[in-house]
Structure 1
Amino acid sequence: MTAPSTASAASAAGLTGADLVRAGEDYLECVGRADEFAAVDLVVDLLRAGADPERLLLELVAPAQRRIGELWAANEWSVAREHGATAVSERAVAAIATYVRPRPTRGRVTVACTDGEYHALPTRLLAEVLRLRGWRVDFLGANVPGPHLITHLHQSGPDVVALGCALATRLPRAHATITACQSAGVPVMAGGGGFGRDGRYARLLGADAWAPTADAAADRLEREGVPALPAVPGALAHLGDEEYTHLRRRRAELLEGAMAALARTYPPVAAYDPQQLEATAEDLGHLIDFLGAALYVDDAPVFTDFVGWTGSVLGARGVTAEALRVGLGVLHDELRDFPRARRMLVQGIEVARITRADQEN
């Protein structure tokens, strides 16, 4: 929940869209060189000039963060540079929060990332937008274990939990968290890319509400409270085949077998150094995890979209999509007793084949 849901009007201070674009370029340059003092000075100077703090969060910091991810995916920025830039953005958000301290006039919201979710900045942006709108906010940060979250709810008594999930691989844990919060008598508003662009997985997993962006979430809470989403008939009935459960239990075994089979069927692997072998195992592990998430919600695009993204990331690093196609074929052969998973893998192999053809052309 990061980008604004609608185009913002010019603020009373007269900060135009063009002004924000120029400031955004300067801000990206600051975070790109990990210059936290320059980034903080930039946002504080804008605040002193009368810029609206919510606009700075959603139209300056959030777009820069998306661009940081794109630059990493395109292999233009290293992981270290991406991490450094994100750390600077966290400092900039903290500076905005410190500079603007509205008095709470509304209810109480607990804002947290689901268990296993480490992408905390989007959820932090939501927390600060809610504070600016007058809510009393308990921001619990990344990777909040479900039992500890429930303890916090009993101790603090919030009106609602805003639960962030950036990656679909965290959906099973998000489901457990949603159910536990509701059992404690607290409704859940879901947000983040992991719940799908249209919130379909929030509905499937029983969340009480979903919002695509931070400002949309704040708007909804102001206008409507937390209305219940319509129930999904037969939700998760597909889990009765236990493919997801068995895949998770066999993950380590499956990964080991897939690496061995890949070495037999894809000759370039023989020349890989230890670092390349580690990266290959990591990529296969991510593919297994996204396949598991797709099985959990019974939606192949959770997996095939990740296959397409992986192909583009590997291509930017000089790895052909043929390696991805072979790896998916190996997983397909390893999962002989998993009909749903095999169907999804066939679709993934086709995505990799198309990616390879695009690379060759």
Structure 2
Amino acid sequence: MSSGPVTLKRMLEPLRWRKSPDQPPQSQRCHHDPFDRDTVATIIESDIVPRLLMAHSIEPLTVRDRPQKRIDDLAVSRFAELPMTLEAAGLLDEVDRFIEAGVSVESVYIDLLAPAARSLGEMWTRDECDFVEVTMGLWRLQEVMREISGRYPSIRQSEGPAPRMACLFSPVPGDDHSFGALMIDDVFSRAGWESEVVPQPVRRELLDAVSRRPFDLIGLTVSRECAAGTLRSLITALRKASANPHVAIMVGGRRINEDPALVADVGADGTGTDARAALDVARRLVKAAPARASSQQ
């Protein structure tokens, strides 16, 4: 997991364009153009939002055992406009009203605050706000999450009597942004999986990791444009190197959500549009993995 406090400066660090001599050739890696509006919106969607959810992820005892109230779409839309106009204290008052009404803190994070952060990225893309306004809006949302996380400490699910399933998550090698993989690793850990993450991998490191331990599931996040052939080659190599002949492989992230047909095209077994969906798909894939492997032989 991450080290040190999550500050706005650290969240915006991906905007600093840099090249590394260790990166693969341009034709074989995921890439993006520096400092354009799509880049900022993508970083908010695939990096900053998951980073915030991962860093402040919570599972409060105070609301777990009572019926959970849903946040309706109108309320989500209304709240999404507030980070541009309200200070953090005002946003926190709004969030407190939802929690007092019976909305779980997890739902507040995933269904309310994350869409508000995404909305900032969309406003930037449409040229409806400048970079300073986006930065201030994100800072206010972060302050709200920091306050709530202090009230409701994180709780890991205890290990049950049944063996826990093992999974490994990583961004595609060459994709510099690891926040999505870090977030999904945390979500699966909370759900009882033995989860590991390789936040900044090279291809050989991933292959070595799956050869040493028989993971039930491998998850790859793809937040940038990436050649289908490159991803297909990586998945084929992971299956060949895996210590588990029945390993299930999922792909996810912004790029996959934009083009779900890539899942089958690159030879993956499934995807999930968000963390909740990914958990459900992963359980089904692991359960069905032996039969699926037999049918592919």
Q: TM-score, normalised by structure 1?
A: 0.47
Higher relative CO (Cα under 8 Å, sequence separation at least 6) belongs to 2
In 2, Cα distance between the equivalents of 1:73 and 1:31?
Answer: 19
Which amino acid is 2:265 matched to?
L
* Cα pair 1:130 1:218 within 8 Å, conserved: yes
Which amino acid is 2:191 matched to?
R
**Residue 25 of structure 1 corresponds to which residue in structure 2?**
79
**Residue 130 of structure 1 corresponds to which residue in structure 2?**
188
* Cα pair 2:171 2:178 within 8 Å, conserved: yes
**Residue 119 of structure 2 corresponds to which residue in structure 1?**
67
Gaps of 5+ in 2: 1-45, 51-63
Q: TM-score, normalised by structure 2?
A: 0.55
**Residue 205 of structure 1 corresponds to which residue in structure 2?**
266
Q: How does 1:114-263 map to 2 (within 5 A)?
A: 114-141=172-199, 143-169=200-226, 171-185=228-242, 186-195=247-256, 197=258, 199-225=260-286, 227=289, 228=292
In 1, Cα distance between the equivalents of 2:227 and 2:92?
Answer: 32
In 2, Cα distance between the equivalents of 1:121 and 1:32?
Answer: 27
Cα deviation, residue 95, structure 1: 4.4
- C-alpha change, 1:207 and 1:194, in structure 2 (3 Å) is same
Which amino acid is 1:101 matched to?
R
* Cα pair 1:11 1:52 within 8 Å, conserved: no
Which amino acid is 1:135 matched to?
W
Which structure's CA Rg is the greater one? 1
Match of 2:154 among 69, 74, 99: 99
CA deviations 1:180-232 (Å, max 9, x no partner) are 22122243111123235462112111112233332222112223426559x9x
Which amino acid is 1:15 matched to?
K
Indicate whether 1:16 and 2:70 are aligned. Answer: yes
- C-alpha change, 1:14 and 1:187, in structure 2 (3 Å) is closer
In 1, Cα distance between the equivalents of 2:263 and 2:168?
Answer: 18
Gaps of 5+ in 1: 4-9, 232-361
* Cα pair 1:108 1:136 within 8 Å, conserved: yes
* Cα pair 2:170 2:201 within 8 Å, conserved: yes
**Residue 358 of structure 1 corresponds to which residue in structure 2?**
none
Which amino acid is 2:70 matched to?
T
Larger fraction in helix: 1
Which amino acid is 2:154 matched to?
Y
Which amino acid is 1:195 matched to?
I
Which amino acid is 1:188 matched to?
I
Secondary structure at 2:195's aligned position in 1? strand
In 2, Cα distance between the equivalents of 1:95 and 1:213?
Answer: 21
Root mean square deviation of aligned Cα: 4.7
Identity rate, percent? 20
In 1, Cα distance between the equivalents of 2:139 and 2:213?
Answer: 29
In 2, Cα distance between the equivalents of 1:139 and 1:146?
Answer: 14
